[in-house]
Structures are given as C-alpha cells and as structure tokens.
Amino acid sequence: MRSTPIRLADGRELIYFDLPDDPLREGEDLRELPPPPPASELRFDGLRGEWVVIAAHRQGRTFQPPSDRCPLCPSTPDFRSEIPGPYRVVTFENRFPSFSDRTDEGRVLPGIRPGEGRAEVMCFTSDHEGSFADLGPRDVRLVLDVWAARTEALTAMPGVEQVFPFENRGAEIGVTLSHPHGQIYGYPFVPPAVRQILTSLERDPGHFAYRLMREQTDERVVAANDHWTAFVPRAARWPFEVHFYPHRQIPDLPALTDAERDAFAPLYLDVLRRFDALFDLPMPYIAGWFQAPVNEARDSFRLHLQLFSIRRAPGKLKYLAASESAMGVFINDVAPETAAQMLRDALPPFTGR
C-alpha cells in the first residue's frame, strides 16, 4: 500500500491510498473555502451516564446533491469536489465533523467539554454508481489495510479513546451522500455500546471465545473460512444482522495478519452480495468495526464487524419505535435462524478461502 498525503484549501488533511502499481497521485485543491468549524460540544447526561454530541454546524452539511455535483467524486474542470484528482481509496477530514482537534476555549462547565477527537470520510471507490459489494478482493484488502492504518493513526491522537470505522449505505439509513463511502470516528470517550461489552467482560473475560465456539456449531452460520466466521447472533436485534469474528483473539484491525486480511475479503463480499440478493434490490445497511478501546480491555476484547439492515421484507423497514428508541428493548420481526437460512439460500454455498 502506498499513501500520499496532501492539504486541502482549508488546511484539512487528505490521504490517497493506492496499490504499488497505481499511478502517483497529484492535484491541488484550488477552491476558496472558509476555515473548518471548531469542535462540537460534549454534554454529559448524568442520569444515563452517557455523553451527547452537540454539533450544530452539521445542520448545514451537503445533502443528496445531483451526481455531477457529488463532493466525493474526483474533481472535474466543471466542478471542484473535496478530492482534487482521481483515486482508488481516499480519506480526509470531514468538512462537517462530529469530532475534531480544532478545539477552542468553549464553555468549561461540569459535564460540558469540547468534542475533541477525529472524524474522517473514507471513499472506497471513485465509481459514483458502485458499491462496496462491487469491489474485488484486491481492493477490499486495500480498504482493510487503510482501516488498520487509520486506526493506528487515530489511536495515537491526543484525547482519542475509541476508533470506529463504519459504513452507512442507502437512503433508508439516512445517508446524505450516495457515493460509496464510510467514516472513521475517533471518539474522546468509550461509547455506550462498547462500555456495555466491557462490563460483560469484567464478569466473564472469556465471553467472546465462548460465543464464537457456540456459533461455529450452530445453524446461524452464514459463511466461514479458515480465519473468519460470519453468523447471525442468537439474540439479533435487527431483521438481518451478521457478525464477523476472526478466529484469533485480537484487539483491533492493526493486529490482523496478512493471511487474515486476505481471507476477510471473499467472505465479506459474499455476505454483502447475499444481502443484495435476498430481495433482489440494494440492501440498506450499517457496517461497523468493534475494536478494543485505546486504553482498556486490550487482552479481553475481540475485534469483530457487525453488519445489519433495517429492511425486514420487500417494501418494509424496521423502525425504532417506542420500545427500541425510548426503552432500548429491541423487538425483532425475523427469527435469527430464519434470517441465517434466508441468507444462505440467497446465493450458492460460499466456497471462498
């Protein structure tokens, strides 16, 4: 992997990531841009024990522009985007960040502090009409290497406690830009979902190993190879939800070996394509990497990817109504065993290694 960093017109960092035989990247951002906004504000909800991010500057972010005005496509003579030239994979600081290192004095009160951290956009392909599932194994390996490299970079940044690479796909999910892309967040705190896992690990440090052992012999396995198992969890919250576990106990993406990185691509592409084949239309989904926090549970946490969709049937979505949104109690309309069988039946059996 080769990386080429540049600075955008407003000082934000952009990095091109390429394969060794790709052309060298160049290009200058000729736009006139205002300075990036200051960091958001964090406010602590003492009753729930959670931080809430107040990022009012994100209200004005770009929303579903026409394809010839997409800020994630390479710039053209007619339109200058966020990315000055052609690319294979690229990351850059979000112009409308949830977290950033551009902190100011702000209000210093109990339970209120600046939203220090990092929010990066990551474009998987320059093809505006493509999707992650359209990538080849070589490109997926590059994306995985970039996720690992940026995890290392964000982990080293002051104030970052959790690194979370993720992809939102589909208008139903609420994406504001349809170009295939994800983001990488460097949170200045450990998010509630990970904190709940840490609490479970305090009671049982071997919980991840037990879960994988149980799932590998269960009817909810969707696909597997020598290094990874993809399964629908027994207590799935979402209609179609698949977790990807490496067979080794490792804390984060940088710890993956070359063999594990190579083996991930065919497995992940297979499951993504099963999602799209399930109802013969593009499946909206969220995919996110759960990694060990920067400073906690490095020996007991297990890296894994969670992929899920809010679509429960053709033309029907799973909405988070009162029980889920207000009380946090999920009610799933599809039995996990049924979901796994539907995904296995959507395409021929997985044989990739």
The burial class, CB within 10 Å (0-12 / 13-18 / 19+), for 35 is exposed
Reply yes or no on whether 207 is catalytic. Answer: no
The answer to whether the beta carbons of residues 223 and 271 sit under 8 Å apart is: yes
Q: How many CB atoms lie within 10 A of CB 102?
A: 17
Which of 181, 227, 243, 304 is labelled catalytic?
181
Rounded CA gap, 175 and 181, in Å? Answer: 10
Residue 41 neighbours by CB under 8 Å, 6+ apart: 53, 54, 55, 106, 107, 112, 113, 114, 115
Rg (CA), the chain: 20
Rounded CA gap, 233 and 318, in Å? Answer: 17
Report the candidate in 345, 351, 344, 331 with the shortest Cα–Cα distance to residue 220.
344
Catalytic residues: 181
